[in-house]
Chain A
C-alpha cells in the first residue's frame, strides 16, 4: 500500500472561503492509502513547502497530493519540493480545488463536496503513479531562419551577434522582403530602404550568418536541439563565386517580364536582381522566362558576362543541415482581389493596390518617385483611398483586421499631399484604428495638416467615367449618398498568410489558424514559441503586423533561440507516450494523428514455436513527443500509454469520481 500525504491549501481566502477545509481533511483521512493530512494558508510559501518536506520525512510518505490552484501555476514549484525531500518529482499529484472548484462555486456545501471528490480522484491517480525520469539530449548549436524579410534579418542578426551560427534561407534571389518594396514607413516617414539596407548589408557581412538565397526548405526532421533540415538550393544559373554583380547581363538580356518587386508596374529581365540594393547583388536566371531555357537559343548573358559566371547547366541542389532551433519568418501575401470586381481592379489601370502605390511613390520605382496615373502618366488631382479591402469582411474577404492599412493609408495621404501639391486625398473607412506609439498623431496629421478628407462608408462601386473614375459610397455619418469623381483609386488590400504557409507548417509540425497564420504556443504568454519545441515565429507569418511589432517579435524569437542554444544540453520531457509492444497491432493509427511526427513504425522479431516472425509495431521518439496524448485516444487496443497519465490512472480517477 502506498503512503500518501494530502496537503490542502487555503490560498488565503481564495479556497478556504468556499471550501470547508476541516471537512475536506476529515474526508481525505478516510481515503485509501492516505496516511497523513495537513493544511496551510499558503502552501506555495516557503513555510508551506517546508511543511510538506518535513511530513514526507516524518511520515515516510511516498506519494504527495496537494489540493491547491491549477497545476499550471505551481506544479513545478511543488515537484521541486517533493524532489528536495527525496521523492521522484512525478510522485506529486495536484488537485485543482481553486480554478475548478472554489472560484466557480458560491455554495460552500457543493464546493466542499466537489473538493473532496477532486482530492479523492487525485489520491486514486497518485496511488498509481510511477517514477519518471528526464534524459539529457545534446544540442546542435546552430540556428536556421526561414525568410529574409525584416523579421528574418533581425532575428538572424540578433542570434549571430550572440555568437551562434545562423543560416538565413530566402526563396527570392535577394533578402529584403516586403519592407524593401515600401517607400516610407509610418509614423516617422523614414525611408524604408534607408533603414533596411544597412541591415541587409550587416547580414551579408556578418561572420556568423550564412546567407542562402534562391532556396527553400524542403524537409524538416528531428526535434528541438537536433533538427535535420533539407534545403533546396534552386539553380540560379549564375556562379555566385565568379559573379561580380556588374550587371552587364541584365542590361543585355532580351526577354522582359513583369517585375514582381515593382508589382507588375515595370519590367525586369529574365536574368535579374529584384532591385538595385539587392543582397546578394548577384542575379539569377528566371528559367521560365529565359529565352535560352524556353527556346534553346540566345545565351546573350553568357556572351556578355566578363566573369564567365553564367552556368546554364546548374541543377537544384538538396543540402542537408543540422540545427538546434528554427525561426520561421516567412511574412505575408497581399489579399487577392478576385472577389472585389466592384472596385474595377484589373479592369481600369488607375485602380491600384496600396503596395503598387508604394512603388509609384518610391524614387527607385517605375515612375522615379512621381505619383502618376498609370493610364496617362499625368499626376492625379483627386485620389480615393478605400480601406479594408478584403479585411473585416466576413462575406467575401478576411474577417480579421489587417492592422496596418489605417496607418499606411494615412501615410499615403500625407505622401500624396507632399508629392503632388494641391492634390486631394479622400479616404473611405469603416473605422480608423491607430493604437501604437505616435500613431494617432500621425493620422491626425493626415487630415489636419495634409488635408485628407476622411469619409466613413463602404464603397459600393468604382466605375470609369470618361478618363475619370467615379467612386460611389454612402457617408455613414450623414446618411448621404456620395459620388466622387477621382483620377486614381488606391485599394488598401488586406494581409493574407503566405499561400504555401500550410505546407510549411506541415513540414515543421506546427499549426496554423483558420487563415493559415502560424499559431503561437500561447496568445499572451508564449507569443513567439510554437507548439513544437525549438520552432519560433517572427513577423507577419504569425499574424498581420507592422514593422515595429515585427522587429520586436524577431528580437524576442532570437532571445528564445539564444537561450536554447546557450544550454549545455536539454532535459527531455518525461511525460511522453510509450508503446506496449505486446498489445500493439501495428495498424499505426497513432502515427496518423501524431501532430509532432513523433511516432514511427518498426519491426520486431518474435518467436512462434520454432519460427521467428517479424511484426510491425509503433515506436515513440521521446525527444519529439510532446505528451499531448492524441495517440492514446487513437489506439484501439490501448497499447499506447501516456506516462504520468496512464490508462490505469485515468480509469482509477473515473472510478474515484463515479463509484
Chain B
C-alpha cells in the first residue's frame, strides 16, 4: 500500500507534469524532526520532497497571497483548517477560486512536539511517525509507542472540521471528527466568563502583559490578510511603539475585533504565540457572542454567506450590555 506521503507526492507530481498547475504548496521535512515547513514545489521531480507526517500543521494557504500573481494556477494541499483559510481569502476577495487547485487532505490531528519531548525527558529523539492512532517515537534508546490522541496539539482536540470543506481532489478517505469536540469548543471561554469582572480583567492583564508584540499571531492568521496592516502604518499611529501595556491591550483588542466574525478557529495564533497567550479564548468568546446574538454562524464554510458582522438585518439586537 502506498504511504500517505507518497500519495501527496503522486498528486503533486501529476498536477505539475500535466501542466494543471505551475506550483504546488505542501509540506516537507527540513532540519528538525518536530517541524514540517511549507514546501514550494515547481517541478515534478521535487514533488518527492513532500511529506505528510505528525507535524504538517502549518497552513500553506496564506502563502498564496505572495505567489498567486506569478502563477497561472497553484496547487495547494489543504487540511480542514487550511481549506477554511481558502474560503476566508475567497470571501475577503484576496484570492480567486480559479487560481487554485485544492488537494484536500483529511486530517486526523497533528502532534504537539512539546508533549512528546516532555514524555521523554533527557532522551534524544530523532524521528516521530504515525501509524493510525499510534505514534512511533525513535529515541536514542529505542523506539517507543505512544497513543496519538494523547499527544495532539490542543487546537486539534477541538477541531470540528478535520476534512477539507472545499477541495478539488481528495487525497484519501474522509475522517470522523473526534468525539466530544462540540462540547469542548467553548469550555475554556465558559471558564473565563465565570470569573468576576475584576478578576477577569486581572486575568487578561496578566496574559497580555507577556505579549512581546512580535505579531506572530497576526502573521500566521489567514484572516489577517490586509495588504498593509494598520499596525504597520506609521501615520496615523494606531498603537504606540513603546513597550506599554495600554498599547499592547490596544493591539490585542483591535486584533481580536478585526477577526471577529471572520475567525475560522484554526487556532494557529495561539499555537505560534511565544508567550503562550490564550488567544483562542478571546476569539471563541467573540464567536460565542455572535452565535448568541445573531444566530449560529461558522466562518470559512461558505465564501458566499452573509457574515453577521458585515451585514445588517432589522432584527439584529441593538442593545449594549455593560456587564
Contact = CB atoms under 8 A, between A and B. Distances in A.
B221 to A, nearest CB: 12
Contacts of A595: 312
B237 A637 contact: no
Interface stretch (A18-26, A78-86, A583-591): A583-591
A189 interface: no
A651 B312 CA distance: 27
A638 interface: yes
B129 interface: no
A628 interface: no
A585 B225 contact: yes
B226 A651 contact: no
A588 B233 contact: no
Interface string B221-253: 000011111100101111000000000000000
A587 B94 contact: yes
Contact of B227 (A589, A637, A646, A647): A637
Chain B interface main SS type:
loop
B115 to A, nearest CB: 35
B227 A585 contact: yes
B310 A585 contact: no
- The number of chain A residues touching the other chain, given as a range, is 20 to 34
Contact of A634 (B230, B233, B310, B314): B310
Among B94, B230, B236, max chain A CB count under 10 A is at B236
Contacts of B258: 636
- The number of chain B residues touching the other chain, given as a range, is 20 to 34
A348 interface: no
Given A583-B228, A637-B229, A648-B235, A592 B94 contact: no
Contacts, number: 53
A588 B91 CA distance: 10
Contacts of B227: 583-585, 637
A638 B311 CA distance: 19
Contact of B230 (A584, A589, A637): A637
Contacts of A502: 314
Contacts of B94: 585-587
Given A585-B225, A585-B227, A589-B310, A638 B238 contact: yes
Contacts of A638: 230, 233, 236, 238
Contacts of B230: 636-638
B276 interface: no
A233 B221 CA distance: 51
Interface string B251-280: 000000010000000000000000000000
B39 to A, nearest CB: 25
B222 to A, nearest CB: 13
Interface in A529-586: 582-586
Given A585-B92, A587-B92, A638-B236, 20 more contacts: A502-B314, A583-B227, A583-B228, A583-B233, A585-B225, A587-B93, A587-B94, A588-B93, A592-B310, A592-B311, A593-B310, A608-B69, A613-B69, A636-B226, A637-B229, A638-B230, A638-B233, A638-B238, A648-B235, A651-B237
5 contacts: A585-B94, A593-B312, A611-B69, A634-B310, A637-B227
- Which A-B residue pairs are the 6 nearest by beta carbons? A637-B226, A587-B92, A648-B236, A592-B310, A585-B227, A585-B226
